[in-house]
Amino acid sequence: MNTPTTTQYAASAAMPLQLIDLTLEYPDGEGTIKALDSVNLSVGAGQVLSLIGPSGSGKSSLLAAAATLIRPTHGLVIIDGTTASDLNDAQMTTLRREKIGIIFQQPNLLASLTAVEQLMISDHLRGKPLKAAKVRALELLEIVGLQDSAKKRPHQLSGGQRQRVNIARALMGQPKVLLVDEPTAALDNARSESIVKLLAQVTKEFSVATVMVTHDTEFISLTDSVATMRDGALGASELVGV
């Protein structure tokens, strides 16, 4: 197969996320389902790309491949200049921990931990000292507007607040790439808007490259560009924002 090689694509500090000719097939009985079909996509530092498209068009598959959670059938995922497909599983896990923040629709917080502990534990798992983790966790909670909720557990927080904890937690590892799947699916309109605004804000503030999958097109004007998926293929990306 004509797989592109690393050397063909220069590492670009300004493009923390590059997907090149990405194809992903899932086994399906005797045959396969092509969830991604030769996708090419780059997202720059400080940019939010909205990814829209019908259900089953491959949006979550694109995020899973970009997150290095699934190896593509063909093509390259390049994170901050490192080609993921060149790495073994252990190296890929390290790359994911150090460079990628993942935010799914359901915040998936641990019921027994306070907001600040949710953030600290993610740094602790990276082998960072607890004291430094706590300082950074409190800073991030302030950035997402939860400075007064650091000691609250998930059941004491609203859905929007839980999603803010989720966003702060994804930023703990100082990622270069943020991958966000339907962050507002469980929220009302006002809260959805404030979550998209927050994602745009932290994307700029921390110079990450963000892909946000979203089903509602109402708030995509708050992001920098929009791409549409259909049957695993990406339509032309158009600039809608600044």
**Contacts to ligand ADP by CB under 6 A:** 26, 33, 35, 53, 55-61
Residues 6+ apart with CB under 8 A from 50: 212, 213, 214, 220, 223, 225, 226, 227
Task: Give the CA radius of gyration of the chain.
Answer: 18
Region binding Mg ion by CB under 5 A among candidate stretches 45-53, 55-63, 125-133, 194-202 = 55-63
Nearer to ligand ADP, 11 or 56 (CB): 56
Nearer to Mg ion, 59 or 162 (CB): 59
Q: Least distance from C-beta 33 to ligand ADP, angstroms?
A: 5
3-state secondary structure of 217: helix
Q: How far apart are CA 143 and CA 219, in angstroms?
A: 21
Residue with tokens 């963000």: 210
Nearer to ligand ADP, 64 or 137 (CB): 64
Q: Least distance from C-beta 106 to Mg ion, angstroms?
A: 12
Nearer to ligand ADP, 66 or 146 (CB): 66
Instruction: Choose among ligand ADP, Mg ion, none what residue 149 binds, the Cβ cut-off being 5 to 8 Å by kind.
Output: none
Q: Least distance from C-beta 238 to ligand ADP, angstroms?
A: 19
Instruction: Choose among ligand ADP, Mg ion, none what residue 23 binds, the Cβ cut-off being 5 to 8 Å by kind.
Output: none
Region binding Mg ion by CB under 5 A among candidate stretches 51-59, 138-146, 192-200, 216-224 = 51-59
Hey, which residues does 22 pair with through a beta bridge?
39
Q: Least distance from C-beta 213 to Mg ion, angstroms?
A: 6
Residues 6+ apart with CB under 8 A from 39: 19, 21, 22, 23, 58, 62, 75, 232, 233, 234
Residue with tokens 């509602």: 216
Nearer to ligand ADP, 69 or 135 (CB): 69
Instruction: Choose among ligand ADP, Mg ion, none what residue 235 binds, the Cβ cut-off being 5 to 8 Å by kind.
Output: none
Pick one of 6, 12, 60, 85: the residue that binds Mg ion (CB under 5 A): 60
CA dihedral 171, 176, 181, 186 (to 10 degrees): 20
Residues 6+ apart with CB under 8 A from 135: none
Nearer to ligand ADP, 7 or 55 (CB): 55
Give start and end residues of each alpha helix (H) in the chain. 59-66, 89-99, 115-125, 130-143, 159-171, 189-205
Instruction: Choose among ligand ADP, Mg ion, none what residue 26 binds, the Cβ cut-off being 5 to 8 Å by kind.
Output: ligand ADP
Binding residues for Mg ion, rule: CB under 5 A, are 59-60
